[in-house]
Amino acid sequence: MEAYMSSIGSKLQMLNTSDHASVVSMNLFVALLCGCIVIGHLLEETRWMNESITALTIGVCTGIVILLISGGKSSRLLVFSEDLFFIYLLPPIIFNAGFQVKKKQFFRNFMTIMLFGAVGTLICCAIITTGAVQIFKKMDIGPLDIGDYLAIGAIFAATDSVCTLQVLSQDDTPLLYSLVFGEGVVNDATSVVLFNAIQSFDLTNINAVTAWEFVRNFLYLFITSTLLGVLTGLVSAYIIKKLYFGRHSTDREVALMILMAYLSYILAELFYLSGILTVFFCGIVMSHYTWHNVTESSRITTKHAFATLSFVAEIFIFLYVGMDALDIEKWKFVSDSPGTSIAVSSILLGLVMVGRAAFVFPLSFLSNLSKKSPNEKISFRQQFIIWWAGLMRGAVSMALAYNKFTSAGHTNLRANAIMITSTITVVLFSTMVFGLMTKPLISLLLPHPKDQSRSLSFSSDPTTPKSFTLPLLGEGQDSLDDLGGHEIPRPSSLRALLTTPTHTVHYYWRKFDNAFMRPMFGGRGFVPFVPGSPTERNPPNQWH
């Protein structure tokens, strides 16, 4: 009987997975994910914790247990795969970011966000690279060429602002939230595009011509990826609007939205573009047009399904990073010289802080110059929070570092091992220490934002026009127009047009949107409203 059962077993597992050990790992991993969700929920009220730190801590603890059980051989349940990260985990996170973004705030602050996200990331990368070249050459690390230094710059320019976003309130501090959020997404995309460009660029002879070509290709990637995302989103809106008149089917609509979103990502891969940018803009367009063409059930389902996927993917990444941090293979290279590893990590952390300060404060100054209203300007406290929000390093840095300095999760060169362990140290330290300090720090800088009513909150001023300070629309489901009558005045003079370019663009965009885009692709106001909404937590008008 015993033998027979195990024989059935071996057949079953042959039928189902390659070996039983991987089934055990999957069980453990899924159970840990459940554990992270439950514990994260229980710790939600705590002043210091958030879900990332919880997942990271659980990951490290599990790593220690596995290390002890396996007798110091391994701390991993799964081998890190950039494929897994870039094909399955990152797209839902970025798509959801685009889908839930407050489009009005995002586009109103578009220039500032692009300044911080694109230009700022380039500045940060340049400073980290320069600093690393200067300092590491004097240290006993091993051979690193110019490509490695540039890659280090790109790796450590990729921020992870999740910790800060969990603390900031979209409603109390809309400007700050949209800046931190928008910068985070654009930063992710910029650093990945930059990393790929560096990896493939011939660095042996750099001159003005090749540098110009580099910039041109960078811009080309940026623009075409964006356009592809917008196009895919519009096609999905058109299909659902044209074909589904009268006979809505929630399952088909949801399936089509998910498939089209993923299609946009792999289409970008097909054309050698940046999938991250494409899927982000696809998410924005889908929430502006497609989302308004589907049934109410589909709207609720897609909103929460995308958020859930993104949530699980984020926990998955942090859990994995925590578990992988203790992988013994990388540490044995640095165990003979712990001082070097600590020094490298500290230097990198210092460079990250300097590199970020070097663009946040000057660019904020530049951005403030173009704003008239004091409420649109970024105060020093806000600048400090923006600086702080970008100090954490997370999954993107890890994935890029693995891609550059290991092959299939293994490394044999001492310099590479030091870079990997330093990346792990910086990620763990910044997420844990800076992450834990974020909540107290922000409540210090923004006194009691949650205890006050909205109209009294820090960034709003009762005398300014409502449209700039009040959270005008329901969470994440706003649109580029105002139904509440908060019309932006048409600029009356050339001077006004020059000083408020974003608002002017916004004004003409809205005219164009109402005249051409919405009749074609649907969107709020063009699909009959179905009354009756779930009321829990959210005001009912959120679904209109």
Applying the rule CB under 8 A, the residues between 4 and 63 that interact with a copy of itself are 4-13, 15-18, 20, 23-24, 26-27, 30-31, 33-34, 37-38, 40-42, 44
Interface with a copy of itself (CB under 8 A), residue total 87
Residues 482-521, one symbol each (x = binds a copy of itself by CB under 8 A, - = not), give ----------------------------------------
- From the list 52, 109, 403, 425, which residue makes contact with a copy of itself (rule: CB under 8 A)? 403
In this structure, are residues 325 and 59 in contact, taking their beta carbons and an 8 Å threshold?
A: yes
| Crossing angle of helices 90-100 and 296-324, rounded to 10° | 140
Residues 6+ apart with CB under 8 A from 61: 322
Smaller CB separation from a copy of itself, 25 or 502: 25
Distance CA 123, CA 358 (A): 8
What's 137's DSSP letter?
T
Residues 225-254 that bind a copy of itself (CB under 8 A): 239, 243-244, 247-252, 254
Helices (H), 70-173: 82-83, 90-100, 103-108, 110-114, 121-136, 146-157, 162-167
Smaller CB separation from a copy of itself, 11 or 73: 11
- From the list 139, 266, 444, 498, which residue makes contact with a copy of itself (rule: CB under 8 A)? 266
> Which candidate, 103, 99, 472, 88, places its Cα nearest to that of 299?
99
In this structure, are residues 128 and 359 in contact, taking their beta carbons and an 8 Å threshold?
A: no
DSSP sequence for 442-461: HHHHS-STTTS-GGGSTT--
Residues 104-143 that bind a copy of itself (CB under 8 A): none
Residues 147-186, one symbol each (x = binds a copy of itself by CB under 8 A, - = not), give ----------------------------------------
407: left (phi over 0), alpha (psi -120 to 50) or beta: beta
> Which candidate, 527, 517, 533, 530, places its Cα nearest to that of 480?
517
Q: Is 304 in the site for a copy of itself (CB under 8 A)?
A: yes
**Least distance in Å: CB of 516 to a copy of itself?**
24
Q: Is 72 in the site for a copy of itself (CB under 8 A)?
A: no
Smaller CB separation from a copy of itself, 460 or 477: 477
Q: Is 260 in the site for a copy of itself (CB under 8 A)?
A: yes
In this structure, are residues 174 and 471 in contact, taking their beta carbons and an 8 Å threshold?
A: yes
Q: Is 275 in the site for a copy of itself (CB under 8 A)?
A: yes
Residues 340-399 that bind a copy of itself (CB under 8 A): none
Residues 185-214, one symbol each (x = binds a copy of itself by CB under 8 A, - = not), give -----------xx-xxx-----------x-
**Least distance in Å: CB of 142 to a copy of itself?**
24
Token readout for 365 is 């100054």
Residues 312-341 that bind a copy of itself (CB under 8 A): 312
